[in-house]
Amino acid sequence: MQKYNPNAIEKKWQNFWDQDSTFKTEVDSSKEKFYALVEFPYPSGEGLHVGHPRPYTALDVVSRKRRMQNYNVLYPMGWDAFGLPTENYAIKHKIHPAIVTKNNISRFKAQLKSIGFSFDWDREVNTTDPEYYKWTQWIFLKLFENGLAYKKEMPINWCTSCKVGLANEEVVGGVCERCGSEVIHKVKNQWMLKITEYADRLIDDLEGVNFPDRVKAQQINWIGRSYGMDIDFKVAGTDENLRVFTTRPDTIYGSTYMVIAVEHPIIDKYVAKIENIDEVKAYREETLKKSDFERAELVTDKTGVEIKGLRAINPATGEEIPIWVSDYVLMSYGTGAIMAVPGHDTRDYEFAKTFNQPIIEVVSGGNIEEEAYTDCNHGTMVNSGILDGLDVKAAQEKIAEYLESKGLGEKKVNYKLRDWVFSRQRYWGEPIPIVHCEDCGFVAVPYEELPVLLPEIENYEPSDTGESPLSTISEFVNTTCPKCGKHAHRETDTMPQWAGSSWYFLRYTDPKNDEEFASAESLKYYTPVDWYNGGMEHTTLHLLYSRFWHKFLYDLGLVPTSEPYMKRTSHGMILGDNNEKMSKSRGNVINPDDIVEEYGADTFRTYEMFIGDFEKSVPWSENGVKGCRKFLDRVWNLQEILTDSDEYTAELETIINQTIKKVSEDYETLKYNTAIAQLMTLLNEYRAFGEISKADYSVLLLLLYPVAPHITEELWEIIGREGYIHEAAWPVYDEDKLQDDMIELPVQIMGKMRGTIMIPAEADQDMILEILKSSDIYAKHVEGKNIVKVIFVPGRIFNLIVK
Ligand code: ANZ
Ligand code: ZN
């Protein structure tokens, strides 16, 4: 027997799979399809990180298993290759981003191939390929045609370091999601996508998909749907109505003052009436320097200024109340004005305490001397006129009816979700296929002229002015209007990186189609994606964006289902061995190439799956890698105890059936680590038993194949199995053989019946004695005595003579 030599074996099988096109899929309606998807990587200059293969291996395991279960499996891979790091690298090293991208992709691809994933490489997509981004632009034009893409002058988030506008979703904790730098507001003319039009469906349709609860919750919170009312408060002595949005109209009798955002137009409108206008303006200046995040999310002492000379009238009580400005009310939400109810809203409570505003209890049940009482499920209305005595829900209904009947308010739904800022002022992205004509306005580039190619340019540095580098290329900018033929300008902003990834899973179904983004036939057969694994960090970015695009395409009748992904799972991070995030600066980076080179791809894969709970973060451990290599060595060495028999060994049948059941289930439920532990147990049992049949060996190989495909292909061949292991059928267990047969055995001590014990049917005398030792019978009648003789009549009686 030769020693296990992974490097040679792995090359051999990888070449074989390639030449044989083993994992190539075609539409085949005679077979049930299974579409497994992992988030395609951004091919950075750093190469593959050991974090990437974790989800890739997991769904490779599922894909390989499903193929053996006769599914037609689509498991594709590609490149999400537009983006800033490539562009920044290109600028620094003076190489064209297209070349940088090409080099990075070829490195990534070689790395992925060396790990032996069963991707259908014939379906590889690359978002920067004009043949691909032609369709990204095509979808954009469809959005434009349908009024869902529009250009608007508005304050956007601007990253001071990346020099680029960001979508709300890209601002995390007040800083740039990518680089962590400060985000300021900049007023710019931006292309926007109306994702808000889909807000309700993006929430409601979550009911029909199998996503983790935490993913659903994050999307729901991000969209932030609030049911409430818009209510008009009269400004005393004017015709002005100050409209507020509130989710608690029931508390209106407790509203003792109002607060408006510093941007609220009423300030400028009533400059002449406002006695302390200078003070108000100064406060506005200060506040405008802060981000919405600082204003709304950071817990700080309350600040504000009372607007002297303007007072409002509470429509329920008819009383005059003051109007304040404060930074905690945002212009970007609701109406930019609130009715403050300090008794029942925490922020209003703090504000009222700071500025000595009256606090009135209108829902009993708490102690408003101490804090705001915010529970709306318990409590009775008090000090509330027509609402007195009602519970909160009933009070909400009643006040709504009352205010609506008087024309003072109406029910309203608000969302936190904002339209998607879709313009980027960088070079390395899809050009937005729009022409600006003085006479015709924004005109779509005709479909037959797509793709609008990125021009070759010398200098793709971003500018401080916030203009795209494309704006300096006059051959690109100057064009004619597709409508009227007059001189016109091309749009020079590019799309965000999230564009290409919003529909890539559709392209995989038909990646070479040059007439449609994918044929109806392919889409009908392969979509929706059956199982999509990806990072939690994409929950309110890519996952939300792609659901939006998909729903839009569905509305146009271009995809067969309203949701793109039936099931979503998420993996934890792999940390450095010091439990910190892997990074160059921390010096704890593990290069997958080194592990594959030293231990083999199968060991690497096994370790990635064995490392711990798939959904949790775990530290890397070189010892763990070694342990997995040892396991595979022992699998290899089982050849030493192989017999010619081709039946399951009777004594091993129970553990074999148990293992088939457990591994089959665990592979489908993210429990890769316990599946492998079970295979290790099986191997130990084989070794302990001393010899194994070909059938025993084969079943271990079949179950291990999805995790360690190369070694198992090789051993399958070595032991002379027919065909290839990847063509073999997935083993099925026998329900009746999951448990050893247990029988009840009567026990006598010194000839006297003392009771019975349960033993496995095939247990021998030594084993029975062991079982007996832990029984009550033994404790009562044998403990402390010497066993002189054992009389065992199999199946009948077990008798001990003691002294
Ligand atoms: C009166 C009230 C009484 C409120 C009470 C809450 C509790 P969500 O759930 O996030 O939609 N609000 C409205 N517009 C605002 C703005 N532009 N900036 C800051 N706060 C604003 O929250 C809605 C509540 O947030 C609204 O209901 C309003 O305060 C406040 F016991 O009105 B409420
Ligand atoms: Zn025109």
pLDDT digits (tens, 9 = 90+) for 251-279: 999 999 999 999 999 999 999 999 999 99
344 Cβ below 6 A of ligand 1? yes
262 Cβ below 6 A of ligand 1? no
- Cα of 56 vs centre of ligand 2, distance in Å, is 49
Over range 697-706, report the average pLDDT. 98
Pocket test for ligand 1, best of 231, 248, 364 (most atoms within 8 A of CB): 248
Can you tell me the distance from the alpha carbon of 249 to that of 345, in angstroms, rounded to the nearest whole number? 12
pLDDT at 142 over 80: yes
Pocket test for ligand 1, best of 230, 245, 253, 263 (most atoms within 8 A of CB): 245
Q: 156 vs 196, 198, 290, 423, 491, CA distance in Å?
A: 16, 21, 13, 10, 18
246 Cβ below 6 A of ligand 1? yes
- Cα of 260 vs centre of ligand 1, distance in Å, is 12
Non-local (6+) Cβ contacts of 642 within 8 A are 691, 692, 693, 694, 697, 719
In terms of pLDDT, which residue wins out, 105 or 736? 105
For the record, the structure tokens of 41 come out as: 């990587």
Which ligand 1 atom minimizes the distance to the CA of 343?
31
Instruction: Identify the nearest ligand to the CA of 480 by its number.
Output: 2
Q: Where in the chain is the domain with CATH 3.90.740.10?
A: 226-414
Instruction: Identify the nearest ligand to the CA of 436 by its number.
Output: 2
For atom 19 of ligand 1, the residue with the nearest CA is 329
Can you tell me the distance from the alpha carbon of 542 to that of 546, in angstroms, rounded to the nearest whole number? 6
Encode pLDDT of 514-542 as tens digits: 999 999 999 999 999 999 999 999 999 99
Pocket test for ligand 1, best of 229, 230, 247 (most atoms within 8 A of CB): 247
Burial of 798 from C-beta contacts in 10 A (0-12 / 13-18 / 19+)? buried
Encode pLDDT of 344-374 as tens digits: 999 999 999 999 999 999 999 999 999 999 9
Specify the DSSP class assigned to residue 775.
S
Pocket test for ligand 1, best of 252, 264, 338 (most atoms within 8 A of CB): 338
- Cα of 329 vs centre of ligand 1, distance in Å, is 9
Q: 441 vs 376, 434, 476, CA distance in Å?
A: 50, 10, 18
For atom 25 of ligand 1, the residue with the nearest CA is 246
- Cα of 349 vs centre of ligand 1, distance in Å, is 13
Instruction: Identify the nearest ligand to the CA of 486 by its number.
Output: 2
Can you tell me the distance from the alpha carbon of 335 to that of 195, in angstroms, rounded to the nearest whole number? 20
Q: 294 vs 174, 186, 245, 287, 291, CA distance in Å?
A: 7, 16, 21, 10, 5
188 Cβ below 6 A of ligand 1? no
- Cα of 147 vs centre of ligand 2, distance in Å, is 19
Lowest mean pLDDT among 120-124, 181-185, 557-561, 795-799: 181-185
Distance of CA 247 to the CA centre of its chain: 30
Q: Kindly state the greatest CA–CA separation across the chain.
A: 115
Count the neighbouring beta carbons within 10 Å of the beta carbon of residue 243: 16
341 Cβ below 6 A of ligand 1? yes
For 630-648, the three-class secondary structure string (H helix, E strand, C coil) is HHHHHHHHHHHHECCCCCC
**Are 230 and 324 in contact, with CB atoms under 8 Å apart?**
no
Q: How confident is the model at residue 173 (pLDDT cuts 50, 70, 90)?
A: confident
pLDDT of residue 166: 85
317 Cβ below 6 A of ligand 1? no
Can you tell me the distance from the alpha carbon of 639 to that of 693, in angstroms, rounded to the nearest whole number? 10
Q: 397 vs 227, 379, 388, 402, 421, CA distance in Å?
A: 12, 15, 13, 9, 37
In terms of pLDDT, which residue wins out, 338 or 159? 338
**Are 620 and 660 in contact, with CB atoms under 8 Å apart?**
no
pLDDT of residue 26: 96
**Are 166 and 159 in contact, with CB atoms under 8 Å apart?**
yes
Which ligand 1 atom minimizes the distance to the CA of 247?
27
Partners of 755 in beta bridges = 747
Instruction: Identify the nearest ligand to the CA of 441 by its number.
Output: 2
pLDDT at 39 over 80: yes
For atom 5 of ligand 1, the residue with the nearest CA is 345
Q: Where in the chain is the domain with CATH 1.10.730.10?
A: 619-730
pLDDT of residue 188: 83
Q: Which segments within 568-635 are labelled E, that is strand?
A: 568-569, 574-575, 618-619
pLDDT at 91 over 80: yes
Encode pLDDT of 207-244 as tens digits: 999 999 999 999 999 999 999 999 999 999 999 999 99
Q: What percent of the chain has pLDDT over 70?
A: 100
Report which residue type is found at 416. K
Lowest mean pLDDT among 56-70, 202-216, 232-246, 583-597: 583-597
State the architecture of 619-730 in CATH terms: Orthogonal Bundle (1.10)
For the record, the structure tokens of 521 come out as: 């036939």
Domain 742-802 has CATH 3.10.20.590: yes
330 Cβ below 6 A of ligand 1? yes
Report which residue type is found at 687. R
Can you tell me the distance from the alpha carbon of 651 to that of 656, in angstroms, rounded to the nearest whole number? 10
Burial of 131 from C-beta contacts in 10 A (0-12 / 13-18 / 19+)? middle
Can you tell me the distance from the alpha carbon of 224 to that of 333, in angstroms, rounded to the nearest whole number? 11
**Are 700 and 683 in contact, with CB atoms under 8 Å apart?**
yes
Determine if the pTM surpasses 0.95: no
Q: What is the CATH number of domain 226-414?
A: 3.90.740.10
- Cα of 169 vs centre of ligand 2, distance in Å, is 35
pLDDT of residue 789: 93
Q: Where in the chain is the domain with CATH 3.10.20.590?
A: 742-802
Can you tell me the distance from the alpha carbon of 374 to that of 378, in angstroms, rounded to the nearest whole number? 10
Instruction: Identify the nearest ligand to the CA of 485 by its number.
Output: 2
For atom 12 of ligand 1, the residue with the nearest CA is 338
Q: Which residues of 36-70 are buried (b: 16+ CB within 10 A; e: fewer)?
A: bbbbbbbbbeeebbbbbbbbbbbbbbbbbbbbbee
